[in-house]
Amino acid sequence: LAKTTQPISMDSYEGQEVNITCSHNNIATNDYITWYQQFPSQGPRFIIQGYKTKVTNEVASLFIPADRKSSTLSLPRVSLSDTAVYYCLVAPYGGSQGNLIFGKGTKLSVKP
């Protein structure tokens, strides 16, 4: 499974857009990029997944350049409740999705 690198922490203020970039230089052709959110003392929660270009859902957007060696999670207009750790994972679609290797994640702190 491809290794990922993310910033350890980020600070933001309410209402701002937050972009968290993840590097995955060794991503394989059949790998997808998935982001999870984890609050303290809770299990991770799926945010978004993509293969290339741009994916958007009700909570975030995911930007993936053509070479797929990095990806950027974009959180529009963050609120205090978005304070959490965000994990970027790279894994083959389907069969290995449950067997996920977590990196250190990015601790996002949203301030009022």
Partner 1 sequence: GAVVSQHPSWVICKSGTSVKIECRSLDFQATTMFWYRQFPKQSLMLMATSNEGSKATYEQGVEKDKFLINHASLTLSTLTVTSAHPEDSSFYICSARKPDRDTEAFFGQGTRLTVV
**Phi, psi at residue 41, to the nearest 5°?**
60, 30
What count of Cα atoms within 13 Å lies in the side-chain half-sphere of residue 52?
7
Give the shortest CB-46-to-partner 1 separation in angstroms: 4
Amino acid making up residue 11? D
Nearer to partner 1, 17 or 109 (CB): 109
Q: How far is the CB of 29 from partner 1 (least distance, A)?
A: 17
**61 versus 97: smaller Cβ distance to partner 1:** 97
Residue ranges that bind partner 1, judged by CB under 8 A: 34, 41-46, 49, 87, 93-94, 97-105
Distance in Å, CB of 25 to partner 1, minimum: 19
Residue 9 CB burial class (10 angstroms; 0-12, 13-18, ≥19): exposed
Q: Give the torsion sign (CA, 50, 69, 86, 33).
A: positive
Q: Quick one: 16 or 23, whose CB is closer to partner 1?
A: 23
Nearer to partner 1 by Cβ, of 16 and 51: the residue is 51
Query: To the nearest whole angstrom, how small is the minimum distance from the Cβ of residue 58 to partner 1?
Result: 14
Residue 31 tokens read as: 């790998």
